Chain A
Amino acid sequence: MPVTPLDRARRWLFGPVDARVVGWMRASLGALLVTSHLAYAPELDALFAPDALLTQGLFRSDTRWLAWYRLVPDAASLDLLHGALVVPALLVLVGLGGRASLLLALLAQLALMHSNGLAQNGGDRLLRMWTLCMLGSNGTAAVALDAWWARRRGRVPPAVVSGLAVRLVQLQLAWMYCSTGLAKLGGSTWRSGDALYYALLAEHFQRVGGLFTPERLGAGVALWITRLGTWLVLAWEAGFPLWVAWRRTRWVALALGVVFHLGIFATMMVGTFSVVSMWGYLAFVLPALPALGRTGPAVIPVRATPTRRPPPGSAG
């Protein structure tokens, strides 16, 4: 029977991956969720407290029922709520509760967003996307307390799981870079090569105030470096799906991405965006690792899908 393009697409989307790939992705996402959630703590009162100066008159949200941080009466309750809402992220980190903990972690992120969306950045949005993507696979079949608990109860967790989450993360990353790259093609500063010059001089993003000035960047070698960097970023972003689809350019494209994100992290204050973006690279890197990359009996010892271990003495 001929294999149709739809079959290929289905196989690509839902095909199996080593459960440890999804397990490590889930655990590291949990670490990001915990860190990102706790990083709110010093500014909770300023961003959400009912009597905070800058929050007066805001929040005409039609999803008020999800704006949990706006429903608490005082600062002490705010701390309590924030403390309680880190629990789902911790569950994701240790792999307890399967997809339910991911759903709860998503709800906690939505509560922050609907309570004060103006304080959110691209990193927060991408973190929500990653949480949504991870719902596509069973992430607690390995590297998880769920798996450990299953073994203790005589069940054998699956060694391979549907790779939908991995594919969704790959698609999301490719879409994000490519759509942004194409939008930049319409921007005059990207075509002229001056975009990086302007980006580095946007002071509210600068990690070190005054490190870059128009006098230092606007002439000579520095200007040409920023121009070459601009065009390189543009070509890399707009063509990202092609670069990662082609095996020969995949690793160069991912390595360039790491360099770009580390460069942004070192010079600009863009919240968690750099780190959260690089998390998505795990969807390319982990399946390619020799220890995790291949599925099937040739690499992984044969294990059953969840089933009861036979009672002692009944073997044979």
Chain B
Amino acid sequence: MTSIRSAVNRSATTTPAASPRLAVLASRVRFEEKSIMTALDRRGIAFEHLDPRTLFVASGTSYTGPRLVLNREVGHFRALYAASALESVGVTVVNSAAATHLAGDKWHTSAALLRHGLPTPRTALAITPDAALAALEEIGYPAVLKPLVGSWGRLVTRVTDSTMAGAVLEHIAAMPSPQSHVVYVQEQVAKADRDIRILVVAGRALGGTYRRSTEWRTNVARGAVSEPLAPSAEHAELAVAAAAAVGTELAGVDLIEDLEGGLTVLEVNDRVEFTGLQGAHGRDLDVAGAIADLLAAGTRT
């Protein structure tokens, strides 16, 4: 038997005595989380707001909490372990702990994409910084070194020759976390000054954006500008397949176009941010509404 404890904020549609079947797990309520909560309120769908900073799951008592949890936690490890703990007591988590495990780690994502035969840039996983230098010779320059876990383009480094790579890897070797010493090496694909974000909800490409930037990293968090994109059949098919490869029901799939127009999958984001995409589409697309509808369907099963 199990108990769950967390600071809980109930939605306006929740009666004090009732525990809703649905919860939104988030330590930070940003544009995305607030939009989803508002969409749930508008649909009259009761939910709790679970704050992972005060969440624990322990054996010993009966579990009576929400049966369905939308995982919007911004921290990867909190999100991963919260999902795993909740699933251990029978809760359905969107996205699942397994999907967060794959999508939240760049190597696990690459391995899943390769297992499913999907196009993705040439990648090497070097188990030590020394091995990374040899891996770079294999991959070729310019190449990109990425932390296994992390987002928003942080610590993603483009290296153009072995001298530069050696210096960067020396810094990586000095980092305290053992995980940091496992180096993800990826070819830098020659591409246009834009990449593509496709939002996948329950196996459907809901919408997309081109993201343009004056620098080589096209993260919205780094100032990239989003422009609306109606996904083509090719975009949709590849994005949906990539989302499925890592087991995500909700995903932001990043695609890049090489100079010949060929598409390849760069990332699958499991706790997708959609401020840029929503802003680009305006009233033509209701991302939070689509997510709320997915959750509504889940609470009825």
Q: A and B from one assembly?
A: no
Residues of A whose CB lies within 8 Å of any CB of B are none
Residues of B whose CB lies within 8 Å of any CB of A are none
